[in-house]
Amino acid sequence: MGVYALEQRREGGLIASLWRSRSAATVAAGALIVISWLGARGQFLPPPWTNGGMILAAVLAGHRIARQAFFALRYRVLGIEALVTTAAIGAILIGEYWEAAVVTFLFAFGSYLEGRTMDKSRQALRELLELAPRQATVIRDGVELQVLAEEVQKGEMVLVRPGEKIPVDGHVVKGEAFVNQAPITGESMPVEKGLGDNVYSGTIIQTGYLELIADKVGDDTTFSRIIHMVEEAQERTAPVQRFVERFARYYTPAIMVLAVLVYAITRNVLLALTLLVIACPGALVIATPISIVAGIGNAARKGVLVKGGEYLEMLGSIDVVVLDKTGTLTEGEPRVVEVKGFGAGRDAVLTLAAALERYSEHPLARAITSQADEEGLEYPPVDDFTVLTGHGVKGVLDGQPLLLGNEKLLEREGVAIPEEIRLHLKDQAAMGRTVILLAQAGRIIGAISLADTIRQEAKELVRSLKKAGVKETIMLTGDNPGTARAVAEAVGIDSFQAGVLPEHKAKAIARLQAQGRRVAMVGDGVNDAPAMAQADVGIAMGAIGTDVAIETADVALMDDRLFGLVYIIGLSRAVLKNIRQNLIFAVAVVFLLLAGVLGGRVILGSGMLIHELSVLLVILNATRLLKYQPRP
């Protein structure tokens, strides 16, 4: 590309290289200013020398600014460079050499420092980019071949060895490995992968070896799409920012008009020129975007994808967090929680039930067999095994007919349910449990209670959310009120709505919003997509591998640790606070500068000093967000 020609080194002496290198020119200008100032103060240099030194400093630091101003003017755009150049030339013309040198030096030096500091906040994103896989080993026509990661074709066989990065999204066809998925999920505990498992581009094999078929390559991989979305998110402007930019668009020309008016009325050239220097409210314009960039960068590193600054801003002021029960607060899989024998031993009941359920794929059946396995029970095969409609099974063991199923199924099969057992069923239902009954020769001998177990971290969650500033937590579920109440009480959630069908979840959210509350909806991003869209902020958990969730959510937590939720809400509050600090400070600077200039207290050099310092302070404040750590 043509631009790189500009980089070409040209031969030349010291002056020529000073002319070309921005930092060298700036440093030389600074040195000249100090020498000339000392020379004038100590009277060891005659005025023509010190004045000449100041002018030379202004030219060294300012020629680049002037050139940029000139180019922009050719395109009929008036930028801050034009204002600074006008101010510097004006200052030289009226004999204020010192002011001209200081204004140009501070502008050049300030820009340099700001660029450096700003770079730090972009670092988070750059680190993410560096995690992208570069090389891949593929099998083509039976031959092992090294290619660039983006050259892998869909459907191709890819080999990945220990320590290597997985170059594509794919599924494992051979081998086993522990994979570090931190680049995507932020969770550094390695995950075990084997036959049929999905693996993701950018993740790293720690131990083991995998052969996989590429399902998604190049820009389509989860990793590439995350990077792309993070970049776009950083560019999307938050509502506050649009207002600020509109303000800046009027502020700059207004100050320029004011400068002309002031000159026309007072004939005070210095005052008019100073106004030009402060016409660009730099700190104000960057106050919001710089905090957002730092915040989104921090989140990306922790495996949280924020789709835009506006969501970070919104999340920072959320009142209510609505959680989907299944898979969020609970494991989403039933487990045996109680086994009761009626005239039979507990272990016998579980053994017989497991024997019957051995061949069933139903989640309740799997829960029963795995409980029996866990307890080390040996269950024999049954004869005449039959699956009944309505989730029941029957069979024969040791000549005794066995029947397993819920209350309704047993009644249908003609089994009498005594009062004692009916009471037990009622108790269990009130606790939100599902009960499976076991009958032997037409008589009930046991009851197994199952429940979706609550995730360990769920109990911490509600408390942590409150600490992070959330006013209310609400659970939505399609389950019956008994189950809902049991879970809600166990995790200490504020309130719950049971029996809510997926399509009604969005309405429930809308009702909360109608009460004037800001609502975040947390779910899996698939079944509750409409509710997430309705909410002010939709947060998807465990989004890795679910394209729909990544697509529909405003905020996507790649893995499903609830802690990520507390982290992102905490971070969003920190970002909002940071933006507020920046804006208040920047507005104060704008007014103080204007008042200072009009009151004659601030002139050219000091005006520029305050301007540059304020920009630098705003950037430094924002970089604090890069270090934000969630408190567990």
Partner 1 sequence: MKTVRLRLEELACPTCAQKIGQVLEREKGVHSARVAYATATATVEYDPELIDLDRITQVIAKLGYKVIGM
User: Using CA atoms, how far apart are residues 625 and 295, in angstroms rounded to an integer?
Assistant: 6
> With contact defined as beta carbons under 8 Å apart, do 146 and 136 qualify?
yes
User: Using CA atoms, how far apart are residues 578 and 374, in angstroms rounded to an integer?
Assistant: 51
Q: Does 144 bind partner 1 (CB under 8 A)?
A: no
User: Using CA atoms, how far apart are residues 436 and 381, in angstroms rounded to an integer?
Assistant: 20
In the stretch 522-561, what mask flags binding to partner 1 with x, by CB under 8 A?
Answer: ----------------------------------------
Among 17, 35, 52, 68, the residue binding partner 1 under the rule CB under 8 A is: 68
Backbone angles phi, psi at 432, to 5 degrees: 80, 25
> With contact defined as beta carbons under 8 Å apart, do 193 and 180 qualify?
no
Q: Does 72 bind partner 1 (CB under 8 A)?
A: yes
Question: Residue 541 carries which DSSP code?
Answer: S
Measured from the CB atom, is 240 or 447 closer to partner 1?
240
> With contact defined as beta carbons under 8 Å apart, do 202 and 165 qualify?
yes
Query: What are residue 191's DSSP bridge partners?
Result: 179
In the stretch 451-480, what mask flags binding to partner 1 with x, by CB under 8 A?
Answer: ------------------------------
Catalytic residue among 169, 324, 452, 554: 324
Measured from the CB atom, is 80 or 368 closer to partner 1?
80
Q: Are strands 320-324 and 434-440 parallel, antiparallel or unpaired?
A: unpaired
Q: Are strands 320-324 and 472-476 parallel, antiparallel or unpaired?
A: parallel
In sequence order, what E strands does 348-391 have?
383-388
In the stretch 603-622, what mask flags binding to partner 1 with x, by CB under 8 A?
Answer: ------------x-------
Measured from the CB atom, is 91 or 125 closer to partner 1?
125
Helices (H), 168-281: 182-185, 222-235, 239-266, 269-277
Query: What are residue 443's DSSP bridge partners?
Result: 440
Q: Does 254 bind partner 1 (CB under 8 A)?
A: no
- 3-class SS of residue 544: coil
Measured from the CB atom, is 4 or 591 closer to partner 1?
4
Name the one residue in this structure whose structure tokens are 């992102």.
568
Q: Which stretch binds partner 1 (CB under 8 A): 37-45, 229-237, 508-516, 564-572?
A: 229-237
Helices (H), 75-163: 80-93, 97-130
Backbone angles phi, psi at 208, to 5 degrees: 105, -175
Sign of the Cα torsion 406, 407, 410, 411 reads negative
- 324 catalytic? Reply is yes
User: Using CA atoms, how far apart are residues 204 and 280, in angstroms rounded to an integer?
Assistant: 47
The most distant pair of C-alpha atoms in the chain lies apart, rounded to whole Å, by 121
In the stretch 153-182, what mask flags binding to partner 1 with x, by CB under 8 A?
Answer: ------------------------------
Q: Which stretch binds partner 1 (CB under 8 A): 62-70, 150-158, 264-272, 349-357?
A: 62-70
Sign of the Cα torsion 59, 61, 62, 63 reads positive
Q: Which stretch binds partner 1 (CB under 8 A): 51-59, 109-117, 417-425, 571-579?
A: 109-117
Measured from the CB atom, is 22 or 366 closer to partner 1?
22
Minimal distance, residue 82 CB to partner 1, in Å:
10
Q: Does 235 bind partner 1 (CB under 8 A)?
A: yes
Q: Does 67 bind partner 1 (CB under 8 A)?
A: yes
Among 36, 181, 234, 534, the residue binding partner 1 under the rule CB under 8 A is: 234
Minimal distance, residue 103 CB to partner 1, in Å:
14
Q: Which stretch binds partner 1 (CB under 8 A): 23-31, 117-125, 332-340, 596-604?
A: 117-125
Q: Which stretch binds partner 1 (CB under 8 A): 118-126, 157-165, 382-390, 427-435?
A: 118-126
In sequence order, what E strands does 364-491 have?
383-388, 392-397, 400-405, 434-440, 443-454, 472-476
Among 119, 192, 219, 373, the residue binding partner 1 under the rule CB under 8 A is: 119
Q: Interaction with partner 1 in 257-316: which residues (CB under 8 A)?
A: 280, 282, 285-286, 289-290, 292-293
Q: Does 231 bind partner 1 (CB under 8 A)?
A: yes
Measured from the CB atom, is 536 or 612 closer to partner 1?
612
Q: Choose among 219, 224, 200: nearest CA to 210.
A: 200
Interacting residue ranges for partner 1, rule: CB under 8 A:
1-3, 6-7, 64, 67-68, 71-72, 74-75, 77, 79-80, 111, 114-115, 118-119, 121-122, 125, 231, 234-235, 248, 252, 280, 282, 285-286, 289-290, 292-293, 615
Give me the active site residues, please: 324
